[in-house]
Structures are given as C-alpha cells and as structure tokens.
Amino acid sequence: MSHHTVTGPATNLDRVLDRNRAFAATDARTEVPALPFLPRQELYLITCLDCRVDPAQVLGIGLGDALVQRNIGGRVTPSVLGDIAYAAYLVGAKAPEGPWFEVAVIHHTDCGSGLLADEPIRRGYAELMGVDERTLADVAVLDPAKTVAADVERVRRAPHIPDRVQVSGHVYDVETGLVTTVVPAGR
C-alpha cells in the first residue's frame, strides 16, 4: 500500500516567506518616511503589472523610495487619478511644505495589454466582463510613447490634483532595458 502525503507549500507565497523573515531580521523597515506619502525619491510611479517591469529592479527603487501603482498597461484610469489625488491631498493637508512627489507614468514595449488590439481576444474579454469593446481598445498599449503622452495629459488635466504635483512620461524598452523620457516633468 502506497503512503501518499502532500508535502508541497500551502500557498505559492510560502516559497518566498523565508525572504520575508530575512527582511524582518534587518532594520530596513525602520529607515522609511512616515505618512503622509513623502517617498524618499519624491516619486509616484505608475507602471504595468508585467513581471518584467518591476521598478525595484528596473529603476533600483528601494523601500520607502516611491509610491508605486501598477495595473494592466500602467494606464491612468479614473481609479488611478483618485489615488493620486488622495496622496496629494494628504501631503497638502499634513505636510504642505512637501516634498511634493512627481508622478512618473511608464509604459513599455511588448506590453500584454496590446493583445486587446486583437479582435477575438478583445471581444472575448469584453463578453466576459460585460463591457464595451471600444473601451477595451483604448486600454491597449501598442505605441508606448503615444499612450504614455495621453496618460500624462490625463493627470495634468485632473482638477483634483494640485499643480504642485509635476507629471512626466517614460517608455521602458524590454529589449534594451533602458527607460527613455518622452514627456519631461511639468504641468
């Protein structure tokens, strides 16, 4: 009679929890800014959730360096605008002397959101979510320099985000590993 025991991890996170214990054994967590949202590098990064585009690796962003918001494509959605507005509102309310963060929107080449330009993929996902196909077509990052410029404009035009928040746009090339600025910081 075979004796079968499941010995695998309870969750995939178990595979990295020893890294957490190693982190907790250092004092890195004590060397961070306190609220309200005054990240050390004065950055609010918006990037794709693609695992190749992790700002910790690509930009050397360490703990406490930046606010990081990630979604499909690194797009500036109404929800993202609300989060930027909240972070800026807290700085204004609690620490108006700053430093004020700069919003840096980063889109990248070979983005998975581009698959939404493929009609069967887009139609299937629109049916799944019960949303308008045309809305989804706008999410696709096919020309990252173009979509990032459009998203920078969305932040700059947002009435609830104070002018002290500067906004810039960048493209990360997954082939070369280089980030290129396409919209300099401004408002």
Q: For residues 147 and 166, which CB has a smaller minimum distance to Zn ion in the complex?
A: 147
Give the pair of three-digit tokens for residue 138. Answer: 């706008």
* Least spacing, CB of residue 178 vs Zn ion, in Å: 16
Q: For residues 90 and 145, which CB has a smaller minimum distance to Zn ion in the complex?
A: 145
The stretch among 15-23, 42-50, 60-68, 177-185 that binds Zn ion (CB under 5 A) is 42-50
Q: In one letter, which amino acid is 57?
A: Q
* Least spacing, CB of residue 174 vs Zn ion, in Å: 9
Nearest to 165 by CA among 43, 47, 70, 32: 43
By three-state DSSP, how is residue 67 classified?
strand
* Least spacing, CB of residue 173 vs Zn ion, in Å: 12
**Which residue has the closest beta carbon to Zn ion?**
48
C-alpha span between 93 and 43 (Å, rounded): 18
The stretch among 40-48, 81-89, 146-154, 166-174 that binds Zn ion (CB under 5 A) is 40-48
C-alpha span between 79 and 49 (Å, rounded): 16
C-alpha span between 110 and 174 (Å, rounded): 7
Nearest to 76 by CA among 117, 42, 44, 46: 46
Binding of Zn ion by 167 (CB under 5 A): no
Nearest to 107 by CA among 141, 66, 67, 154: 141
Candidates 43, 45, 48, 161; binder of Zn ion (CB under 5 A) is 48
Candidates 59, 84, 88, 111; binder of Zn ion (CB under 5 A) is 111
| Total residues interacting with Zn ion, rule: CB under 5 A | 3
Q: Which parts of this chain interact with Zn ion (CB under 5 A)?
A: 48, 50, 111
